Chains A and B, each alone.
Chain A
Amino acid sequence: MIKVEISNISMNYHSLTAETPALADISFGVQEGHFLSIVGPSGCGKSTLLNIIAGLITPSYGKIVINRSADSSNFLKIGYMFQKDQLFDWLTIWDNVLLGLKINHCITDKNKEMVKNLLISYNLWDFRDHHPRELSGGMRQRVALIRTLALSPEVLLLDEPFSALDYQTRLNISDEVYEIIKKEKKTTIMVTHDISEAIAMSDEIIILSNRPAVIVKHMTLEFGEDFSCPLKRREAPDFRVYFNEIWKELNGNVNSK
């Protein structure tokens, strides 16, 4: 079943001196439970696309359908994760993860129990009374993910979620986040400029061109059963093949400009 359907999205930015087309006729769909990554040259409008899917920006043209409903108030169906964890320093970990529920006035015992279980299963329960500054970068990003999951979103949007972390933490946390996402069976769209990260985590990859961005290629990745998690995937023989393919597409596009 197709969970998210993006049809004919175009986006123009206006300033007094010029009109800049950022996205031109982008259409794709994401299967339920799939992990899709969007890669592309920097400044091509990847994050704009994500903001449109999140309902934070209205596109110039086109529509987003989540779960077959085109209602523009998609807020409760999507969960957004940022480059930085954006935890609130003045709240404890517990209050941080409950933030979304508090905003929506739905702190019920049932929801609290659910969040508690999330914290327990991802080894953060012992830190519930700590403040974010006392946690490592990787733990903070995990808390940020649980804060997003607390609202039970149907679709997760990740905006370069690991690029603020150092390389080692980044590999580990992308592994952990991947596991959490797969375990919770969330449909996910991630924007990244890191080709290897995209290959290691995704079921599908969309390559965007330079501005105005169009889809250059929509590819499906197949790894064997042995390569079930991002870290293992990096060792798969196909990894290089995919990497070269994407690399070529991205470079071919840049050079032709």
Chain B
Amino acid sequence: MLIQSEEQKIYIRNVKRRKYIIIFTRIIILIVFFSFWEIAGRLKWIDSFLTSTPSKMFSSFIQIYNEGTLLTHISVTCFETITGFLLGTILGALIAVLLWWSDFISKVLDPYLIVLNALPKVALAPIIIFWVGNGITAIIVIALLISIVVTIISILSGFREVDLDKIKLLKTFGATKLQILTNLIIPASIGALVSALKINVGLSWVGVIMGEFLVAKEGLGFLIIYGGQISQLDMVMMSIVILSILAYLMYELVALFERKVVGKNN
């Protein structure tokens, strides 16, 4: 332990205190928000049929849990999202490598990528349902389609930002294109890769929920649509809250991965 001056100790204490205050305030906001919601619902300031209340959401939660289907819904949605996310990331990264490798292919495909990027992929959903069937596969394909184009574009632009002199350096060593890719391009673009992952987490959720709206018989997206159809807004709200928590957890997982990988390298 180093000997610290009084000034240094005060500085550290202030930094820590600020950190705790920020976390504390976040929690307070959450509690106040839900309490106010509950109170406003009970005192009939708002119509609790339309807005639900935390307590109603909770009883809806318990009810579905007791029916034994809640975990199925959650795990189906998680499975679809994670599969879509991984497929989108891996395929997107592979295509980005291909486009980096061949300037010709990349130039040729450029306008098509722009069109695909601008196109709302959900518009393809009816066709996909016909092609791959009315089920989980269709949902995963929709999630994959939504995330893959952005993945390709952001990873490829990461690849292209690598300093040209570094490529030249490897060429003076006599490196092959594959060696340049593995020794320089990929490690240098880890940052771009991880930020593509972060965008993909969000996009995969969008794709999965959209897909479930259209075809599903299970999953949180199905619960939301079903709840709306039978005017059970408690169920809808409860599903949205669970969805928020899951999306947050998955984002944190990617952030953890980022700290482990990027933190080590940079």
A residues within 8 Å of B by Cβ?
Answer: 54, 56, 73, 75-76, 78-80, 82-84, 86, 88-90, 99-100, 102-104, 133, 151
A246 to B165, CA, bound (A): 30
Given contacts A56-B172, A79-B172, A104-B174, contact A84 B165 (CB under 8 A): yes
Q: Could you tell me if B165 and A89 are in contact, using CB atoms closer than 8 angstroms?
A: no
Closest Cβ of chain A: how far from B2's Cβ, in Å?
19
B128 CB–A CB distance under 8 Å: no
Q: Could you tell me if B175 and A88 are in contact, using CB atoms closer than 8 angstroms?
A: no
Question: Which chain A residues border B168 with CB–CB below 8 Å?
Answer: 56, 80, 82
Given contacts A84-B165, A99-B183, contact A89 B265 (CB under 8 A): yes
B173 CB–A CB distance under 8 Å: yes
Question: Which chain A residues border B174 with CB–CB below 8 Å?
Answer: 73, 75-76, 103-104
B4 CB–A CB distance under 8 Å: no
Question: Which chain A residues border B169 with CB–CB below 8 Å?
Answer: 80, 82, 86
Q: Could you tell me if A78 and B187 are in contact, using CB atoms closer than 8 angstroms?
A: no
Closest Cβ of chain A: how far from B48's Cβ, in Å?
55
Q: Could you tell me if A86 and B172 are in contact, using CB atoms closer than 8 angstroms?
A: no
Q: Could you tell me if A90 and B165 are in contact, using CB atoms closer than 8 angstroms?
A: no
* Most chain A C-beta atoms within 10 Å of own C-beta, residue among B171, B173, B174, B190: B173
Q: Could you tell me if B179 and A103 are in contact, using CB atoms closer than 8 angstroms?
A: yes
Question: Which chain A residues border B190 with CB–CB below 8 Å?
Answer: 90
What is the chain B residue whose CB lies nearest that of A79? B172
Closest Cβ of chain A: how far from B181's Cβ, in Å?
12
Question: Which chain B residues border A78 with CB–CB below 8 Å?
Answer: 172
Which residue in B165, B179, B184 is a CB contact (below 8 Å) of A82?
B165
Which residue in B175, B187, B188 is a CB contact (below 8 Å) of A103?
B175
Closest Cβ of chain B: how far from A215's Cβ, in Å?
25
A83 to B165, CA, bound (A): 9
Q: Could you tell me if B173 and A88 are in contact, using CB atoms closer than 8 angstroms?
A: no
What is the chain A residue whose CB lies nearest that of B176? A103
Q: Could you tell me if A151 and B173 are in contact, using CB atoms closer than 8 angstroms?
A: yes
Closest Cβ of chain B: how far from A115's Cβ, in Å?
14
Closest Cβ of chain A: how far from B183's Cβ, in Å?
7
A133 to B168, CA, bound (A): 21
What is the chain A residue whose CB lies nearest that of B187? A90
Q: Mark B156-196, 1 if CB is under 8 A from A, else 0.
A: 00000001011011111111000100011001101000000
A99 to B179, CA, bound (A): 11
B25 CB–A CB distance under 8 Å: no
A90 to B190, CA, bound (A): 10
Question: Which chain B residues border A54 with CB–CB below 8 Å?
Answer: 172
A-B contact pairs, 19 of them (CB 8 A): A56-B168, A73-B174, A75-B172, A75-B173, A75-B174, A76-B174, A78-B172, A79-B172, A80-B172, A86-B163, A86-B169, A88-B166, A88-B188, A89-B266, A90-B266, A103-B173, A103-B174, A103-B179, A104-B173
